[in-house]
Amino acid sequence: MNHLQDVPLAKAYLLLNHGPSTIVTSEHEGLANVMAAAWVMPLDFDPPKLMLVLDRNTWSRHLVEGSGAFVIQLPSRRQAELTLAVGSSNGGELDKFARYDIATARARQVQAPIVEGCLAYLECRVIAEPHNQEKYDLFIAEVVAAYADERVFSKGRWHFPDEESRTIHYQAGGAFFATGEAFQVVKA
Amino acid sequence: MNHLQDVPLAKAYLLLNHGPSTIVTSEHEGLANVMAAAWVMPLDFDPPKLMLVLDRNTWSRHLVEGSGAFVIQLPSRRQAELTLAVGSSNGGELDKFARYDIATARARQVQAPIVEGCLAYLECRVIAEPHNQEKYDLFIAEVVAAYADERVFSKGRWHFPDEESRTIHYQAGGAFFATGEAFQVVKA
């Protein structure tokens, strides 16, 4: 974990701006879970907020409603199989950390595990919006800590040193895209 | 526009699941605008809903609040310069369609122009949620029509025939990523 560097909170949205798929961890009363989530996006810059769609049938929903916190982490391509696995099983039925032999550390600002080896982390506290949660399964949260692997994200920009270190974007049925070529456009 | 094929509404989320950047068009009382939006994502499958963050200082916000409708369209890499241009100018100060010489057609189910040559289109009607709109600049909408260029999206999957036809993901400061390599993961 020595390559993790703090991302200034006002720049945290840049971790999510390109729409990568994520892994969500949470914990409540000593019980933890890990799941995949493609439906995560920034909502505001500073203080940073983000949104997560969290189905009412998931075990993570129960934990997040209990704790009011979760961690968004960005898996690399080398973690795509893990991402699919934790997105295809139910934490109420098995301990996914044990089943998939997931190495964890502790989050810094919230009570939750984090998955080691991810590219970036956004620790979040839920902003209570019962109507959105009940009607839309939509959770709005403030990002209270952000950090990233300096080998792939520094000075507010992603820069992938190799194919396996790229962020990923979920389609469906186990199909993903890797984040592709970076290019620069100049204002007309 | 002959390559545009209907996307079944229950599959419309697949157009946005990988987190591409978008162009938003809207129209109210004969006035239209076009802007860029990276903060768009699915909210539900069927009937499909999506979310759009729409800053209160934009001209499009005024139009969308008036009409209750907008169109999300996915530009290709060859439209990245256009995407940056419409995202960097204010429709209250200039007619962006004229300034950037944008060819348009009419949307099918809502009153709005669409930008010709995009990869996919999602026509949306706002679901009134005044609290979200006022507090978070957040608009929830139902997708009432979806169609895509069959050369890049068919049978629920993206398949890009060349680099210039890929969807794009905005970072910041004119920097984008193209959607990259597709790969398949098998469940553990």
Mean pLDDT for the stretch of residues A150-178:
97
Q: How confident is the model at residue A187 (pLDDT cuts 50, 70, 90)?
A: confident
Q: Please determine, for residue A35, whether its predicted confidence score (pLDDT) is greater than 70.
A: yes
Q: What are residue B113's DSSP bridge partners?
A: B106
Question: Nearest C-alpha of chain B: how many angstroms from A17?
Answer: 6
Report the predicted TM-score, pTM, of the whole model to 2 decimal places. 0.97
Q: For chains A and B, what is the number of CB pairs under 8 angstroms?
A: 166
Whole-number pLDDT of residue A1: 54
Q: If you average pLDDT over residues A116-134, what whole number do you get?
A: 98
Q: For all residues of chain A together, what is the average pLDDT?
A: 96
Chain A CB within 8 Å of residue B180 CB: yes
Mark which residues 114-133 of B lie under 8 Å from A by CB. 131-132
ipTM metric: 0.96
Task: Choose among B135, B12, B127: nearest CA to B64.
Answer: B127
Residues A45-56 pLDDT 10s: 999 999 999 999
pLDDT at B2: 79
B72 lies within 8 A of chain A by CB? no
For chain B (188 residues), the mean pLDDT of every run of 10, in chain order, is: 91 98 97 97 97 96 98 98 94 93 98 98 98 98 98 97 98 97 90
Question: At a CB cut-off of 8 Å and minimum separation 6, what does B164 contact?
Answer: B76, B77, B78
Say if the Cβ atoms of A178 and B180 lie within 8 Å.
yes
Confidence (pLDDT) at A188:
66
Q: For residue B86, what are the contacts with CB-CB under 8 A and spacing of at least 6? A: B23, B34, B35, B36, B96, B100, B102
Percent of chain A with pLDDT over 70: 99
